[in-house]
Structure formats: C-alpha cells, structure tokens
Amino acid sequence: MEKSIIQLVDELSTDNITVKVLKAVDYVAPSQWNNLVGFDNSIRAITGETDAKVIQKIRERAVILYHDPQQGYQSAIKLYQTIDKADTAMAAAALANKVGEKIGVLSFLTNITPKADLTQTIDLVLKLAVEIIVFCKLNGIPQPNPQEFAKSLTNNYQDASLMRMVALVCLDGILPLGPDFLNKIHQLISGTDASQIAQNPVFSAINSSLPGNNPTEKLGFITQGFNSVQGWISNLVSKTGITPQSIFSSLGNFIQIADDNLDFVAAFIDQTTNYYEHTGIQTVASSLIKQSHILVKQEIQQEEKSSVREISSTVKVDNKQYAVGTKVEVWDEEEEDWYSATIEKVKDNEYFIHYDGYGSSSDEWVEPDDLRIRDKAASDDNGYAVGVKVKVWDEDNEDWYSATINKIQGQQYFVHYVDYDSSYDEWVDLDDIC
C-alpha cells in the first residue's frame, strides 16, 4: 500500500546525509530553505494555525485532496520518487552499508565509478523535465509549459522548490561537469539523438510522463525545458560565484574526503542522497496544505453561517481567502462562465490573476465580486454547495447578479443576493444559476 502524504512528511529525516548535503549547498541561497518535517508541524508553520481542531480538519482535507487524481499531488510525488530512485539505481549495494550513521574518511571513493558526461547530462535535463511537469500539475496548467515554469522560477520559486533547483545546479551540474557545465550540456544534448536518450534508465523510468508520442518528440521537450532555464542558471552562478571548489569545500565541513577528485565526489553524493524526493515531498506538502487550509476555512465559515437562521443582509468578501497563490474561479461577463485561475498579485481590493492554461497575455486585474473559491468535494451533483458564490440570471433586467447559496433542495437553490437585503432572497432553478 502506498504511503499517505502525512506518512511521507512525518518520515522525512531531520539529519541524514541528504539533509547534510542540502545544508552544505544552502550557502548559495541562504535562509531560503527550512527542513520542515512532520505534517502537523508543517501545517502550523505554513498556515499559522494553532487550533487543534482546525489542524485536524486540514489533515483530513489534505488526505482527500492527495488521493484525488484530478489534483495531481500524488502523481507529482511519484515523479520525484521515481527519478531519484532511477538516478541512484546504479549505486553499489555495498556502498550504503559502508556509509552507516557516521561519515568517516571515504577512501573507498576510489571504488565508485563516476558517470560519463553524457549520462550525467541526461540525468540533469530529465530532472529539469520532471520539475516542469510537476510545476504545471501543482499550478493547474493542463500541459507542461517550460516558458511558464521559467517565469515562475525567476519570480516565485522559494523554500524547498528553490533549494531543489540550487542543489540540481550544484550537485548535478557544476560538481560533476565542471564550471563550463552549461556549454557542455548544450553541446552534448545537441549532438545526442533520440535513440541514445531512450536507452537511458532514468528516461525509461519517467518515459510515460514526458510529453510527446515518440522519443524524438520527448527529446524535443527535454531540450526545450533545458533551454528555458539556461538564463536563470547562468544568472545564479554569476550572482553567487559558485565553483566546484566552493561546493567541495562546503561539503568538506561534514565529509572527510581522501582526495579532491570532484567527479568521484559527485558520484558518491549522487548515489547516497535523495534530495529530489526529499525536497519534492516538502514542496507538494506545502502546496497541498495551503489549498486544504483555504477550503477548511471556507468550510468553517459555511458551518458558522448555517447555524444562524438568516445570513446577514450584507455579504462581505473575506479578502484573506484571496491571497497570492490561491486557486480561484473568475467570472467572464462576455462568455458568461467561470474560468480557473491563480491569484498572482493583490492590491487594495483588486486581484491580478493568471488563467490556468492560458498565456500571460490574458492576465488581468479583477474585483472580488467576480472571484470565488469552490470546494468541489463538498458540492452536489450539479457542482454547487451551501455558501458558494454564483451568478443568477434575472430575466426582467437581462443581467447576471452575484448571490450566495443558502439552501439546496434537489434542483432548486435558495439564494441571497450580494449587497441586497433578505427581502430579495428567493428560490431559483438550476438553469438560472452559473
């Protein structure tokens, strides 16, 4: 049986070799990564909640969302786990036994064969491809989009997500391939045909998740993904001055290495750590907790309203629920429909949103009256629930009016119109709401 997200987060290590390696390269992005472990502890740190009942509700909602295939959380974890396990599959079984709990003088590094440059390059670009795929899953983008990922990497990546990318650059790029690793990768990928990629065991492990109908198309996506982030990687290296020697020196704070053969050091780290899975679990858990928190707060508000015989005549928007990064639905007056989107900026009482699956040219500012958060898990067969904001069609005025559902009876809904007193409350048919 597969582990739940709660088990995965609870079982994250606080101080194994993976954590030590991540802390060693933390100097590249100081104060960005906190090794957050324990699911309840993560809830408290991410949401600020201290009420045990609220934390329990978030746990329960997180479990439901995690196992919902439409959400993409579970498949994201599987991708992180798969690529890490495939990447370390070539490690000698005896190596792990020699490491033990303490890291001594690793004279046995001479027995580890470092990867060839092409194999190392393929591993790196495939990890980038996985990152792009997972990013799109977690942000509601229907198809993997390297350009949208590159934009977010530059503007929004932080915490475990940023740490994972920093580790990728240091441990899978600079350390094994040298300071000129970007040019080396570009040359190797340009000179590699699809058949060589298809023979790579890491590629085989994630093949079904890569966009494209054949190895050639998949190689095209992989190459496009690498090209989209070259600029960010180059800026990171230039800004921080990372070198193979500086990485080696930082690792030396906890690993006593017999020599400075950097590709052998990289091989050892590659075969004894699972930093992609470790930070990947933290990233997915953070996204899951944030969404669960929003839904639970909405649920609590609905429960409080249902305990009162009549909802207040004035419905005010809780601006806190529309925070940056919140998944919402946006009303389109022209199309007369709701569209999935993500809030990217908040200013006063307006929200700058990005429509899921659309380019940035469609981004726009909207008012709270045209936003809503809908808990599909609590909805009826028509997609509605008590407390959900809807638009109601008025035949006389030939216009849509914002309202909140107070009661549901079969195919009819008792609604309260926003900014109108309760004398206007009424039952409407399913065909009259959207």
- Please enumerate in sequence order all residues whose Cβ is within 8 A of that of 158, keeping only pairs 6 or more positions apart, or say none: 32
Position 309 scores a pLDDT of: 42
Q: List domains and CATH numbers for the chain.
A: 5-298 (no CATH), 320-374 (2.30.30.140), 382-433 (2.30.30.140)
Q: Comparing C-alpha atoms, which of 397, 288, 400, 278 is closest to residue 14?
A: 278
DSSP assignments along 208-238, one per residue? GGSSSSSHHHHHHHHHHHHHHHHHHHHHHHH
Sole residue written with tokens 């046995």: 108
Position 331 scores a pLDDT of: 94
- How far apart CA 109 and CA 116 sit, in angstroms, is 16
Decide the pairing of beta strands 389-394 and 371-372: unpaired
Q: Residue 194: which region, alpha, beta or left (left: phi > 0; alpha: psi -120 to 50)?
A: alpha
What spatial distance separates the first Cα and last Cα of the chain, rounded to whole Å? 40
pLDDT tens across the length of the chain (434 residues) = 678 999 999 999 999 999 999 999 999 999 889 999 999 999 999 999 999 999 999 999 999 999 998 899 999 999 999 998 887 654 443 333 333 333 444 444 444 555 678 888 999 999 999 999 999 999 989 999 999 999 999 999 999 999 999 999 999 999 889 999 999 999 999 888 888 888 888 899 999 999 999 999 999 999 999 999 999 999 999 999 999 989 988 887 766 654 455 656 777 777 788 999 999 999 999 999 999 999 999 988 887 766 544 433 333 444 457 888 899 999 998 889 999 999 999 988 889 999 998 999 999 999 988 999 887 777 888 888 988 999 999 888 889 999 999 999 888 999 999 888 888 889 999 999 99
- How far apart CA 129 and CA 370 sit, in angstroms, is 35
Sole residue written with tokens 């009424």: 426
Position 310 scores a pLDDT of: 43
Question: Quick one: DSSP state of residue 4?
Answer: P
432 burial (CB, 10 Å; 0-12 / 13-18 / 19+) is middle
- How far apart CA 21 and CA 57 sit, in angstroms, is 35
Q: How many helices (H) and strands (E) does the chain have?
A: 17, 9
Position 92 scores a pLDDT of: 41
* Crossing angle for the helix pair 262-272 and 244-251, to the nearest 10 degrees: 60
